[in-house]
A and B are shown apart, each in its own frame.
Chain A
Amino acid sequence: MSNSSIQAAGAPATSKRNRTKANVMVVACTVLGAAAQMLIKRGTAIMPPLLDPSGGSILEQAPMIAWKILTNLPLFGGLACYGISTILLVLALRYGELSVLYPIIALTYVWVSVLSVGLLGESVNIYKAAGLVFIVLGVTVLGRKDRDA
Protein backbone atom coordinates (compact mmCIF):
# COMPACT_ATOMS: atom_id res chain seq x y z
CA MET A 1 0.00 0.00 0.00
CA SER A 2 1.41 3.33 -1.00
CA ASN A 3 -0.16 5.17 1.89
CA SER A 4 2.49 4.91 4.60
CA SER A 5 1.65 8.18 6.31
CA ILE A 6 2.69 8.54 9.89
CA GLN A 7 -0.44 9.00 11.95
CA ALA A 8 -0.76 10.36 15.44
CA ALA A 9 -2.07 7.92 18.02
CA GLY A 10 -5.84 7.81 18.02
CA ALA A 11 -6.26 8.93 14.42
CA PRO A 12 -8.51 6.58 12.45
CA ALA A 13 -6.91 4.65 9.60
CA THR A 14 -7.38 6.11 6.13
CA SER A 15 -9.43 3.26 4.67
CA LYS A 16 -11.24 3.79 1.38
CA ARG A 17 -14.55 4.11 3.22
CA ASN A 18 -13.15 6.72 5.59
CA ARG A 19 -11.65 8.69 2.73
CA THR A 20 -14.99 8.81 0.94
CA LYS A 21 -16.67 9.91 4.17
CA ALA A 22 -14.09 12.68 4.60
CA ASN A 23 -14.51 13.86 1.00
CA VAL A 24 -18.30 14.09 1.39
CA MET A 25 -17.89 16.01 4.66
CA VAL A 26 -15.57 18.57 3.07
CA VAL A 27 -17.96 19.04 0.15
CA ALA A 28 -20.67 19.75 2.74
CA CYS A 29 -18.23 22.29 4.28
CA THR A 30 -17.99 24.10 0.95
CA VAL A 31 -21.80 24.31 0.65
CA LEU A 32 -21.97 25.74 4.18
CA GLY A 33 -19.11 28.13 3.39
CA ALA A 34 -20.92 29.42 0.31
CA ALA A 35 -24.16 29.85 2.28
CA ALA A 36 -22.15 31.75 4.91
CA GLN A 37 -20.72 34.13 2.30
CA MET A 38 -24.16 34.84 0.82
CA LEU A 39 -25.75 35.37 4.24
CA ILE A 40 -22.96 37.68 5.42
CA LYS A 41 -23.22 39.68 2.21
CA ARG A 42 -26.97 40.05 2.81
CA GLY A 43 -26.35 40.86 6.48
CA THR A 44 -23.91 43.67 5.74
CA ALA A 45 -26.27 45.05 3.07
CA ILE A 46 -29.21 45.40 5.46
CA MET A 47 -27.07 46.56 8.39
CA PRO A 48 -28.07 50.08 9.43
CA PRO A 49 -25.24 52.56 10.10
CA LEU A 50 -23.70 51.43 13.39
CA LEU A 51 -22.97 54.94 14.64
CA ASP A 52 -25.69 57.54 14.98
CA PRO A 53 -23.91 60.89 14.34
CA SER A 54 -26.29 62.73 16.69
CA GLY A 55 -26.39 60.05 19.37
CA GLY A 56 -23.43 60.79 21.63
CA SER A 57 -20.09 59.03 22.11
CA ILE A 58 -19.26 55.51 20.96
CA LEU A 59 -19.40 54.35 24.56
CA GLU A 60 -22.90 55.73 25.03
CA GLN A 61 -24.03 54.10 21.81
CA ALA A 62 -22.39 50.74 22.55
CA PRO A 63 -25.60 48.97 23.67
CA MET A 64 -27.40 50.14 20.53
CA ILE A 65 -24.50 48.98 18.33
CA ALA A 66 -24.48 45.58 20.02
CA TRP A 67 -28.26 45.34 19.53
CA LYS A 68 -27.95 46.15 15.81
CA ILE A 69 -25.38 43.38 15.34
CA LEU A 70 -27.20 40.82 17.50
CA THR A 71 -30.53 41.32 15.71
CA ASN A 72 -29.02 40.99 12.23
CA LEU A 73 -30.22 37.45 11.50
CA PRO A 74 -28.51 36.91 8.12
CA LEU A 75 -25.18 38.06 9.57
CA PHE A 76 -25.59 35.72 12.53
CA GLY A 77 -26.73 32.85 10.32
CA GLY A 78 -23.68 33.38 8.13
CA LEU A 79 -21.25 33.33 11.04
CA ALA A 80 -23.00 30.21 12.40
CA CYS A 81 -22.55 28.50 9.02
CA TYR A 82 -18.83 29.29 9.16
CA GLY A 83 -18.65 27.84 12.66
CA ILE A 84 -20.40 24.60 11.71
CA SER A 85 -18.30 24.38 8.55
CA THR A 86 -15.08 24.62 10.59
CA ILE A 87 -16.20 21.88 13.00
CA LEU A 88 -17.14 19.67 10.06
CA LEU A 89 -13.74 20.30 8.43
CA VAL A 90 -11.89 19.24 11.58
CA LEU A 91 -13.99 16.04 11.81
CA ALA A 92 -13.28 15.33 8.13
CA LEU A 93 -9.54 15.89 8.56
CA ARG A 94 -9.49 12.94 10.98
CA TYR A 95 -10.41 10.58 8.19
CA GLY A 96 -8.37 11.72 5.23
CA GLU A 97 -5.23 13.32 3.87
CA LEU A 98 -4.90 17.09 4.26
CA SER A 99 -3.36 17.35 0.80
CA VAL A 100 -6.53 15.89 -0.74
CA LEU A 101 -9.17 17.43 1.50
CA TYR A 102 -7.92 20.99 1.73
CA PRO A 103 -7.98 21.89 -1.99
CA ILE A 104 -11.57 20.54 -2.22
CA ILE A 105 -12.54 23.74 -0.39
CA ALA A 106 -12.10 25.45 -3.77
CA LEU A 107 -15.58 24.12 -4.59
CA THR A 108 -16.83 27.04 -2.48
CA TYR A 109 -16.06 29.27 -5.49
CA VAL A 110 -18.41 27.11 -7.57
CA TRP A 111 -21.38 27.33 -5.18
CA VAL A 112 -20.87 31.06 -4.59
CA SER A 113 -20.85 31.69 -8.34
CA VAL A 114 -23.94 29.55 -8.91
CA LEU A 115 -25.79 31.22 -6.03
CA SER A 116 -24.73 34.69 -7.22
CA VAL A 117 -26.21 33.99 -10.63
CA GLY A 118 -29.34 32.32 -9.24
CA LEU A 119 -30.12 34.60 -6.31
CA LEU A 120 -28.41 37.91 -7.07
CA GLY A 121 -28.96 37.82 -10.81
CA GLU A 122 -25.27 38.20 -11.68
CA SER A 123 -24.44 37.60 -15.32
CA VAL A 124 -22.79 34.45 -16.67
CA ASN A 125 -19.97 34.63 -19.18
CA ILE A 126 -17.54 32.24 -20.84
CA TYR A 127 -14.73 32.99 -18.34
CA LYS A 128 -16.87 32.23 -15.32
CA ALA A 129 -18.23 29.04 -16.87
CA ALA A 130 -14.78 27.82 -17.98
CA GLY A 131 -13.26 28.67 -14.60
CA LEU A 132 -15.91 26.67 -12.77
CA VAL A 133 -15.41 23.67 -15.07
CA PHE A 134 -11.65 23.70 -14.39
CA ILE A 135 -12.17 23.90 -10.62
CA VAL A 136 -14.60 20.96 -10.65
CA LEU A 137 -12.27 18.91 -12.88
CA GLY A 138 -9.31 19.78 -10.65
CA VAL A 139 -11.13 18.60 -7.53
CA THR A 140 -12.10 15.39 -9.33
CA VAL A 141 -8.52 14.66 -10.43
CA LEU A 142 -7.15 15.49 -6.99
CA GLY A 143 -9.12 12.77 -5.24
CA ARG A 144 -7.98 10.06 -7.63
CA LYS A 145 -5.20 7.78 -6.57
CA ASP A 146 -2.29 7.48 -8.99
CA ARG A 147 -2.04 3.93 -10.24
CA ASP A 148 1.73 4.13 -10.45
CA ALA A 149 2.40 6.09 -7.28
Chain B
Amino acid sequence: MKTPVSSILLVLFASFIGSFGAIFLKAGADRLERSIKGVLTNWRLPVGVCIYLTSFAMYTVAVKNGELTILYPMVSLGYLWTLIWSRLIFKEPLTRNKFIGVGMILFGVVVLNLGNR
Protein backbone atom coordinates (compact mmCIF):
# COMPACT_ATOMS: atom_id res chain seq x y z
CA MET B 1 0.00 0.00 0.00
CA LYS B 2 1.38 3.35 -0.99
CA THR B 3 0.72 6.40 1.13
CA PRO B 4 -0.59 9.32 -0.95
CA VAL B 5 0.99 12.73 -0.46
CA SER B 6 -2.44 14.12 0.34
CA SER B 7 -2.70 11.81 3.38
CA ILE B 8 0.75 12.86 4.59
CA LEU B 9 -0.09 16.55 4.23
CA LEU B 10 -3.41 16.01 6.01
CA VAL B 11 -1.73 14.28 8.96
CA LEU B 12 0.93 17.01 9.13
CA PHE B 13 -1.81 19.61 9.16
CA ALA B 14 -3.73 17.62 11.80
CA SER B 15 -0.68 17.51 14.09
CA PHE B 16 -0.16 21.25 13.54
CA ILE B 17 -3.78 22.05 14.40
CA GLY B 18 -3.73 19.65 17.35
CA SER B 19 -0.79 21.45 18.94
CA PHE B 20 -3.00 24.54 19.23
CA GLY B 21 -5.47 22.42 21.19
CA ALA B 22 -2.77 22.03 23.82
CA ILE B 23 -2.13 25.79 23.78
CA PHE B 24 -5.79 26.58 24.47
CA LEU B 25 -5.99 23.97 27.25
CA LYS B 26 -2.90 25.47 28.90
CA ALA B 27 -4.20 29.03 28.53
CA GLY B 28 -7.54 27.90 29.97
CA ALA B 29 -5.85 25.98 32.81
CA ASP B 30 -3.84 29.08 33.81
CA ARG B 31 -7.11 31.01 34.15
CA LEU B 32 -9.04 28.28 35.95
CA GLU B 33 -11.14 29.51 38.86
CA ARG B 34 -12.69 27.42 41.58
CA SER B 35 -16.30 28.31 40.85
CA ILE B 36 -18.96 26.89 38.56
CA LYS B 37 -19.26 30.24 36.78
CA GLY B 38 -15.50 30.44 36.39
CA VAL B 39 -15.33 27.00 34.77
CA LEU B 40 -18.38 27.58 32.52
CA THR B 41 -17.10 30.93 31.24
CA ASN B 42 -13.61 29.58 30.56
CA TRP B 43 -14.06 29.50 26.77
CA ARG B 44 -10.48 28.46 26.10
CA LEU B 45 -11.07 24.94 27.45
CA PRO B 46 -13.94 23.95 25.09
CA VAL B 47 -12.09 25.61 22.21
CA GLY B 48 -9.06 23.45 23.00
CA VAL B 49 -11.18 20.29 23.11
CA CYS B 50 -12.87 21.20 19.80
CA ILE B 51 -9.49 21.73 18.16
CA TYR B 52 -8.44 18.27 19.36
CA LEU B 53 -11.58 16.68 17.97
CA THR B 54 -11.05 18.44 14.62
CA SER B 55 -7.46 17.25 14.51
CA PHE B 56 -8.58 13.71 15.36
CA ALA B 57 -11.25 13.75 12.62
CA MET B 58 -8.68 14.88 10.03
CA TYR B 59 -6.31 12.14 11.14
CA THR B 60 -9.05 9.50 10.87
CA VAL B 61 -9.78 10.58 7.29
CA ALA B 62 -6.07 10.60 6.39
CA VAL B 63 -5.25 7.09 7.68
CA LYS B 64 -8.01 5.55 5.60
CA ASN B 65 -5.88 5.94 2.48
CA GLY B 66 -2.40 5.46 3.85
CA GLU B 67 -0.03 3.30 5.81
CA LEU B 68 -0.41 3.58 9.56
CA THR B 69 3.33 2.94 10.07
CA ILE B 70 4.10 6.16 8.23
CA LEU B 71 1.18 8.31 9.33
CA TYR B 72 0.88 7.36 13.02
CA PRO B 73 4.37 8.57 14.05
CA MET B 74 3.78 11.86 12.25
CA VAL B 75 1.08 12.69 14.79
CA SER B 76 3.84 12.87 17.39
CA LEU B 77 5.30 15.86 15.54
CA GLY B 78 2.67 17.74 17.53
CA TYR B 79 5.04 17.50 20.52
CA LEU B 80 7.64 19.44 18.56
CA TRP B 81 5.21 22.17 17.51
CA THR B 82 4.01 22.44 21.13
CA LEU B 83 7.60 22.96 22.28
CA ILE B 84 7.86 25.94 19.93
CA TRP B 85 4.48 27.46 20.88
CA SER B 86 5.30 27.02 24.60
CA ARG B 87 8.33 29.23 24.06
CA LEU B 88 6.59 31.83 21.90
CA ILE B 89 3.31 32.09 23.80
CA PHE B 90 4.02 31.10 27.41
CA LYS B 91 7.72 32.13 27.44
CA GLU B 92 8.71 28.72 28.76
CA PRO B 93 12.45 28.12 28.61
CA LEU B 94 13.54 25.97 25.66
CA THR B 95 16.17 23.73 27.17
CA ARG B 96 18.48 21.23 25.52
CA ASN B 97 16.88 18.41 27.53
CA LYS B 98 13.45 19.23 26.13
CA PHE B 99 14.73 18.92 22.56
CA ILE B 100 16.65 15.72 23.32
CA GLY B 101 13.64 14.26 25.15
CA VAL B 102 11.17 15.04 22.36
CA GLY B 103 13.71 13.80 19.78
CA MET B 104 14.02 10.48 21.60
CA ILE B 105 10.23 10.19 21.90
CA LEU B 106 9.79 10.81 18.15
CA PHE B 107 12.49 8.26 17.35
CA GLY B 108 10.88 5.77 19.73
CA VAL B 109 7.45 6.20 18.13
CA VAL B 110 8.92 5.65 14.63
CA VAL B 111 10.78 2.49 15.76
CA LEU B 112 7.72 1.21 17.67
CA ASN B 113 5.61 1.51 14.54
CA LEU B 114 8.19 -0.37 12.46
CA GLY B 115 7.45 -3.25 14.83
CA ASN B 116 3.75 -3.10 13.97
CA ARG B 117 4.31 -3.67 10.25
Contact of A126 among B102, B110, B115 (CB under 8 A): B115
Q: DSSP class of B's interface residues: helix, strand, loop or mixed?
A: helix
B83 within 8 A of A: yes
Contact of B28 among A90, A100, A109 (CB under 8 A): A90
A38 within 8 A of B: no
Task: Mark contacts of A79-106 with chain B using CB atoms, 8 A cut-off: 1 yes-contact digit, 0 otherwise.
Answer: 0000000100111111001111011011
Q: What chain B residues lie within 8 Å of A145 (beta carbons)?
A: 95, 97
Task: Find residues 15-63 in chain B having any chain A CB closer than 8 Å to their own CB.
Answer: 22-23, 25-33, 45, 49
Chain B residues packing against A (C-beta within 8 Å): 22-23, 25-33, 45, 49, 76, 79, 82-83, 85-87, 90-98, 100-116
Chain A residues packing against B (C-beta within 8 Å): 2-11, 86, 89-94, 97-100, 102-103, 105-106, 109, 113, 125-146, 149
A–B Cβ pairs within 8 angstroms, 18 of them = A8-B27, A90-B45, A98-B26, A98-B86, A99-B87, A103-B102, A106-B79, A106-B105, A109-B112, A133-B108, A135-B108, A138-B101, A138-B108, A139-B101, A141-B104, A142-B97, A144-B97, A149-B95
